[in-house]
């Protein structure tokens, strides 16, 4: 029932978009839309301590991404502030009234794009969250996702990080639609949790977007691998967007990436500031799902029996 309501919501949105775009059609030759797809741009940006310059840099790159034909533009985890437990409180903002959201809304509207606003530290009452917002081409916030799995790890001689010292975890899956394409949201460490991705697949998603910031210990071994795993297991596209690699504080791995439903990496950045563009053909999801039909072949009868005993 819930799924039907969600599908209808997507479909309603799809119809509204098409009626609107038909009315506004200028029959330009710019090929930003394909059959069932769009051009995406992932912005891997330098991030420093000055929030205003981080926001200005993002605005600049969003404009360039639009000029490059992107219909969807996505930013990284903590694109507006340094990533670190000691910084979350200092940089936290109310959503949607804080300066970062104001900028995201305006940038989406000025450029008439869908904008996945990376993440920002969010304050609500006495709690802080690591939160991703999504904006439509009218500058309206259409989704808000709070990181569900907090990044708490301890690798001696590598990295120790405890997000839960400052942040609270979100408790909700969040999706949004572009035309009839359903997109699920996660944030960085969420990538490691296959169950989350599977639930999104079961809700009908064809693309998962994870603003992230892997580190120099786990990044080389796991960043590409976990994305390919989520994409292959669920036969959908995965986008992950990192900040560019800095020189001090938390050093991000970089390598923002787009993986297709075959599990193939189809675009990947280096570690410096860079925008990657990619034309996404969502028809590939159905193609893989038909040719290797693992979903209907799952033995949920067995899985559920075993799980019930746990």
Ligand X SMILES: NC(=O)CCC(=O)C(=O)O
Quote the CA–CA distance of 41 and 162 in Å, as a whole number.
Answer: 31
Contact call for residues 256 and 240 (beta carbons, < 8 A): yes
Alpha helices in the chain (DSSP H): 2-23, 51-67, 85-91, 99-111, 194-202, 224-234, 283-291, 294-297, 300-309
Q: Is 147 a catalytic residue?
A: yes
**Which entry of 10, 66, 77, 122 is annotated as an active-site residue?**
77
Report if residue 129 touches ligand X, rule: CB under 6 A: no
Other CB atoms within 10 A of residue 197 CB? 25
The binder of ligand X chosen from 135, 151, 200, 237 (CB under 6 A): 151
Residues 164-183 that bind ligand X (CB under 6 A): none
Residue 66's contacts (CB-CB under 8 Å, 6 or more residues apart) are 73, 111, 112, 113
> Is residue 206 among the annotated active site residues?
no
Q: Which residues within the stretch 219-258 sit at the binding site for ligand X (CB under 6 A)?
A: 222
Looking at the DSSP assignment, which residues form a beta bridge with residue 211? 241
Catalytic, out of 10, 188, 278, 285 = 188
Q: How far is the CB of 120 from ligand X (least distance, A)?
A: 13
Question: What number of CA atoms fall less than 13 Å from residue 138's CA on the CB side?
Answer: 6
Quick check: helix, strand or coil at residue 102?
Answer: helix
Position among 218, 266, 273, 281 found at the interface with ligand X (CB under 6 A): 218
Q: Binding of ligand X at residue 215 (CB under 6 A)?
A: yes
Q: According to the binding rule CB under 6 A, does residue 189 interact with ligand X?
A: yes
Residues 6+ apart with CB under 8 A from 249: 82, 83, 84
Site string for ligand X, 46-85 (x = CB under 6 A): -------------------------------x--------
Q: How far is the CB of 229 from ligand X (least distance, A)?
A: 13
> 95, 213, 258, 285: which one contacts ligand X (CB under 6 A)?
213
Assess whether 77 carries a catalytic annotation: yes
CA–CA separation, 236 vs 183, rounded Å?
Answer: 10
Token pair 């996702």 in the structure block, residue: 145
Number of residues that bind ligand X (CB under 6 A): 10
Helix axes 224-234, 194-202, angle to 10 degrees: 30
Closest to 46 in 3D by CA, of 76, 86, 84:
76
| Residue 161 beta carbon to ligand X: minimum distance, rounded to whole angstroms | 7
Query: What is the spatial distance between Cα 5 and Cα 262, in angstroms, rounded to a whole number?
Result: 29
Shortest Cβ distance from residue 147 to ligand X (Å)? 7
Q: Which is nearer to ligand X, 181 or 209 (CB)?
A: 209
Structure tokens, 216: 């120099």
Residue number, 140 or 152, with CB nearest to ligand X: 152
For ligand X, the closer CB: 91 or 214: 214
- Of 105-113, 173-181, 213-221, 296-304, which part binds ligand X (CB under 6 A)? 213-221
Stretch of 55-63, 214-222, 267-275, 295-303 lying at the interface with ligand X (CB under 6 A): 214-222
Positions in the binding site for ligand X (CB under 6 A)? 77, 151, 188-189, 192, 213-215, 218, 222
**Catalytic sites, residue numbers:** 77, 147, 188
């Amino acid at each position: 029932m819930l799924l039907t309501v969600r599908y209808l919501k997507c479909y309603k949105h799809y119809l509204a978009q098409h009626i609107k775009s038909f009315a506004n059609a200028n029959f330009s030759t710019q090929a930003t839309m394909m059959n069932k797809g769009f051009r995406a741009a992932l912005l891997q940006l330098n991030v420093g301590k000055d929030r205003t310059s981080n926001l200005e840099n993002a605005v600049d790159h969003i404009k360039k991404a639009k000029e490059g034909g992107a219909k969807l533009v996505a930013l990284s985890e903590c694109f507006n502030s340094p990533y670190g437990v000691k910084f979350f409180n200092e940089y936290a903002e109310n959503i949607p009234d804080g300066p970062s959201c104001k900028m995201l809304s305006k940038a989406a509207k000025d450029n008439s794009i869908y904008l996945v606003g990376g993440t920002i530290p969010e304050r609500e009452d006495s709690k802080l969250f690591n939160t991703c917002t999504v904006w439509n081409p009218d500058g309206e916030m259409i989704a808000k996702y709070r990181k569900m799995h907090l990044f708490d790890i301890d690798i001696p001689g590598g990295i120790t990080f405890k997000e839960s010292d400052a942040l609270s975890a979100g408790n909700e899956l969040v999706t949004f639609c572009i035309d009839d394409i359903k997109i699920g949201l996660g944030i960085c460490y969420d990538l490691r949790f296959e169950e989350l991705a599977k639930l999104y697949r079961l809700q009908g998603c064809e693309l998962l977007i994870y603003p992230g910031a892997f580190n120099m210990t786990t990044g080389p071994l796991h960043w590409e691998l976990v994305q390919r795993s989520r994409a292959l297991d669920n036969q959908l596209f995965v986008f992950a967007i990192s900040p560019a690699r800095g020189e001090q504080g938390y050093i991000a791995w970089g390598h923002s990436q787009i993986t297709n439903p075959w599990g193939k990496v189809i675009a990947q950045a280096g570690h410096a500031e860079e925008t990657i563009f990619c034309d996404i053909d969502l028809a590939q999801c159905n193609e893989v799902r038909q040719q290797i039909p693992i979903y209907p072949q799952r033995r949920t009868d067995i899985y559920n029996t075993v799980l019930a005993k746990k």
